[in-house]
Amino acid sequence: MRKHWIDNLRWVTVLLVLFYHVIYFYNNKGVFGGIGGFGDGPQYQDVVMYILYPWFMPLLFILAGISARYALQTHPARDWFRARTRKLLVPGTIGLLVFHWMVGYFNTAVAARQGIFDGVPAIGKYFIMVFSGIGPLWFVQVLWLLCLVLLLVRALDRKDRFWNRCGKAGLVWIILLGLLFWVGEQTLIRNPRPESLDGLWNLYKPLFYLVPFLLGYFVFSHDEVQERVKKAWIPLMACAVVSGAILVGTTFGQDNTSPRYLGSPLNCLYGWLMCLAMMGWFKACFDRTGRFAGYVTRSGYGLYIVHYLIVASLGYMMKVYTQFPPFAMYLILTIAVFTLSPILYETLRRIPFIRWCVFGRNAPVREI
């Protein structure tokens, strides 16, 4: 039996990612990526990044861990990992060559206009665009790696002794698990060297995301744990809102993706409380489905895969080639990403070879 609250929380979080990228693309807080903001003054719309970034990607990894547990209860590990490889690794590698190089084209467009790539052969420019087109695909690449790690971890708990023990965790222990959230953030490189791969490590954060993924598998896949979080969702949400307000009020203007910011106790507290509060809220209030919810549940992964091409292309062209006021750019880009992304997804998923390359699917139906 499907747990609709998990499906609903996943697609709602994906839609928040789409909106986040609209704001992120024009941010002026020094966050890596995007095309930059509108001057050096305060952009109060950037508060969206401060509200969402501490928790929405960790939450997706928690949900992925829960789903992995459920899938491995009904499917052989070999079949499950083969399906994960097709759905995650194929789009994260072959999909780059076939589709996401276009994202890289717009990600490198500013550098190209400055003549940085002059003299670089066409094949070299193509592979630069391929690498620059990873964008949101870092998520599927890291998730595939964590699925591989999970198979090794499961081998140490073949009889589910540790998993069963985790199901006994009370609410206090569940909240204290946030310390692992903080420990994970400490694995980031505080002073990344520009000439090294330190920046990529901080972007991918594999050791940090391993924490919520394994917590999802071992802790939050238990019905009893879900019920405890459900019963406490209101005070959890209240504490999360208070901690988030303090965080935003005291740090607005800083680079909210820097290692020092992410590793701060307040950021970790807010991020963890929001993960718990959102799970409890959806378990309590949104454990049902409907026609729209069913569609977005099936298509949410595809929307995540294709949406950034809309953001990067239209966002770049409006900033460079028009004189639209900022408000109009945000409005147009928001409408576009929520309307054109489904159209692009529905088009690509009907083309067999493209469907396999971009979404890792053999058939135009949802695969688990």
What does the pLDDT average to over 152-165? 95
pLDDT score, position 30: 81
Q: Confidence band (pLDDT; 50, 70, 90) for 112?
A: confident
Q: Would you place residue 368 in the very low, low, confident or very high pLDDT band (cuts 50, 70, 90)?
A: very low
Q: What end-to-end distance do the CA atoms of the chain give, in Å?
A: 13
* Percentage of the chain lying above the pLDDT 90 cut: 86
- Point out which residues pair with 252 in neighbouring strands: 254
In the chain, where the domains are located: 4-359
Residues in the chain: 368
* Mean pLDDT, residues 126-147: 95
DSSP 46-89: GHHHHHHTTTHHHHHHHHHHHHHHHHHHHS-HHHHHHHHIIIII
Q: Say whether 137 sits in a helix, a strand or coil.
A: helix
pLDDT of residue 236: 98
Question: pLDDT tens digits, residue range 233-250?
Answer: 999 999 999 999 999 999
What tokens appear for 122 in the block?
Answer: 């066409």
pLDDT in tens, 288-328: 999 999 999 999 999 999 999 999 999 999 999 999 999 99
What mean pLDDT do residues 11-18 have?
Answer: 98
Residue percentage of the chain with pLDDT more than 70:
98
Structure tokens at 239: 């504490």
Q: Read off the pTM.
A: 0.95
**Mean pLDDT of the residues in the chain:** 94
pLDDT tens, 186-234? 999 998 887 788 888 999 999 999 999 999 999 999 999 999 999 999 9
Whether residue 102 contacts residue 313, with contact meaning beta carbons closer than 8 Å, is answered with yes
Q: Note the pLDDT of residue 40.
A: 80
Q: Which pLDDT value is given to residue 16?
A: 98
Mean pLDDT value across residues 95-99? 96
Place 33 in a pLDDT band, splitting at 50, 70 and 90. confident
Confidence check: pLDDT of 366 > 60 = no
User: Does 367 have pLDDT greater than 80?
Assistant: no
Residues 6+ apart with CB under 8 A from 360: 86, 87, 88, 89, 90, 91, 95
pLDDT in tens, 328-344: 999 999 999 999 999 99
Query: What does the pLDDT read at residue 365?
Result: 52
Q: What local confidence, expressed as pLDDT, does residue 196 receive?
A: 80
